[in-house]
Amino acid sequence: MIDLATSYLGLQLTGPVIASAGPMTGRMDDLLRLQEAGASAAVLPSLFEEEAIAEERSLHEALTKAVPSSAERLNSVHHPGFPGLGPERHVRLVEEAKRRLSIPVIASVNAARAGAWERYAALMVEAGADAIELNIYAMATDPGRAAADVEAEYLEVIQRTRAVVEVPLSVKLSPYFSSLPHQASAAVQAGADGLVLFNRYYPPRLNLRTLAAEPAIHMSMPNDLRLPLRWLPVLRPQLPGTSLAVSSGVDSLRDLLTVLLVGADVACMTSAVLRHGPEHVRVVLDGLTACLDENEYESVTQLRGLAGGDSDNDTDRGSRDRADYVEALSRFQPIVPV
C-alpha cells in the first residue's frame, strides 16, 4: 500500500492535497464532496477585515441609538448578538464544518492591517477551527512609506494574530518583497507555523465601453506556479521546521509532483476544483499513488524535496540562479515560421 499521509502545521493529514479557500469550501455539500474525493483538509472562505469593521460600526450605531448616554457600555460588549451580519456566518460555518467533516478545518482571515477582525479569529478558534490561515493582502501605494515600514506592519499583523489564537497559524505571503527569504524568516519568528506561497493580486478589468475599472477574478493556471517554484527550493532548507504550502497553479498530477519534489508539504487547490469539480482531487491523488508505485516509492514523504537541490550551507544560490538565467537566454532559439 502506498502511504500518502503527510503533516502540515502539525496536523496529520491523509494526503498532500488540501481544498483552499474559495466558493466550494463555503458550501457544506461541496465540502463533503471534497472530503470524499480525498482533500485532506479544508480552508474555509476568508473573513475579510472589512466585514469585521462593518459589523463593529453597525454595533456601535445600534448601541449608541439605544443608550446614547452610556457610551462606556460599548467597551463591555465582546460577543455581539447580531448573527445575520458578516463575521458571525464564518463562526457558524466553522461550527458546522467541524460537526460534519472528519478532516481538519482551517479558518481563514484576509486582512491588510491589525484591527477588529482579530477577535473574530479567536471566535473561530473557539468554534473548533484546527488552524488559522492569515492572508495579508495589502498593496503598498504610498510613496511616503519605505519598504521597511511595509514589512514592519506586515509582521505586526502576524504578531497580533499569534497573540489571540493558540492553534497553528499559517501566513499566506506575497511574493513581492525585496528580500523574500528575510521576510519569510521574520514571519516565522513573528509566530507563523507555516507559509503559503503565494497570495495573488487581482488587477481590475477595464471596461472599454465605460472606460471604468471593474473588479475581476482571474482563476489561477499552471503557469502561475512559476513564482512558488522559484522560491520553494530556496525557502525549504532555510526553514526546515516550517510547513510550506503551495497555492496558485496546482491543477494536475504533474503540478502536484513538481511542488512535492521541490519541498512543499501540501498543495492547495481552488481554481482546479472550480474548473473540474471536487472529484478532480481524486483523479490527481490516484495518479500520484500510481506514480509512486511505478517508481517503487512507499510513501509521499520519500518523494518530498528530492529535486530541491539546496542544502543548509548553500549560500551561493543567487550566483547559481544568475548563471542559470544567462544560460537559459543564451540557449533560447526562436521558432521561425516556415
Task: Say what the pLDDT of residue 329 is.
Answer: 77
Residue 196 DSSP label: E
Task: Say what the pLDDT of residue 4 is.
Answer: 96
Q: What is the pLDDT of residues 154-190, one digit of tens each?
A: 999 999 999 999 999 999 999 999 999 999 999 999 9
Q: Would you list the domain boundaries of the chain?
A: 6-331
Q: How would residue 324 be classed by pLDDT, with cut points 50, 70 and 90?
A: confident
The rounded distance, in Å, linking the Cα atoms of 186 and 191 is 9
Task: Say what the pLDDT of residue 195 is.
Answer: 98
Q: How would residue 334 be classed by pLDDT, with cut points 50, 70 and 90?
A: confident
Task: Say what the pLDDT of residue 292 is.
Answer: 95
Q: How many helices (H) and strands (E) does the chain have?
A: 12, 12
Pick the CATH number of 6-331 from 3.40.190.10, 3.30.300.30, 1.10.10.10, 3.20.20.70: 3.20.20.70
Q: How would residue 282 be classed by pLDDT, with cut points 50, 70 and 90?
A: very high
Q: What is the pLDDT of residues 57-94, one digit of tens each?
A: 665 465 556 555 444 443 433 333 334 446 788 999 99
CA end-to-end span of the chain:
52
Q: What is the pLDDT of residues 236-255, one digit of tens each?
A: 999 999 999 999 889 999 99
In order of 158, 271, 326, the CA distances from 280 in angstroms are 33, 11, 38
- DSSP characters over 271-323: HHHHHH-TTHHHHHHHHHHHHHHHTT--BHHHHTTTT----TT---HHHHHHH
**Other residues' Cβ atoms within 10 Å of the Cβ of residue 53:** 15
Comparing CA positions, the residue from 15, 95, 63, 22 lying closest to residue 247 is 22
**309 or 222, greater pLDDT:** 222
Task: Say what the pLDDT of residue 35 is.
Answer: 97
Q: Of 85-94, 102-111, 311-320, where does mean pLDDT reach its minimum? A: 311-320
pTM for the model stands at 0.85
All three cell numbers of 163, joined, read: 497573540
- DSSP characters over 2-39: -B--EEETTEEESSSEEE-SSGGGGSHHHHHHHHHHT-
Task: Say what the pLDDT of residue 71 is.
Answer: 42
Task: Say what the pLDDT of residue 52 is.
Answer: 76
- pLDDT for residue 309 is more than 90: no
**24 or 75, greater pLDDT:** 24
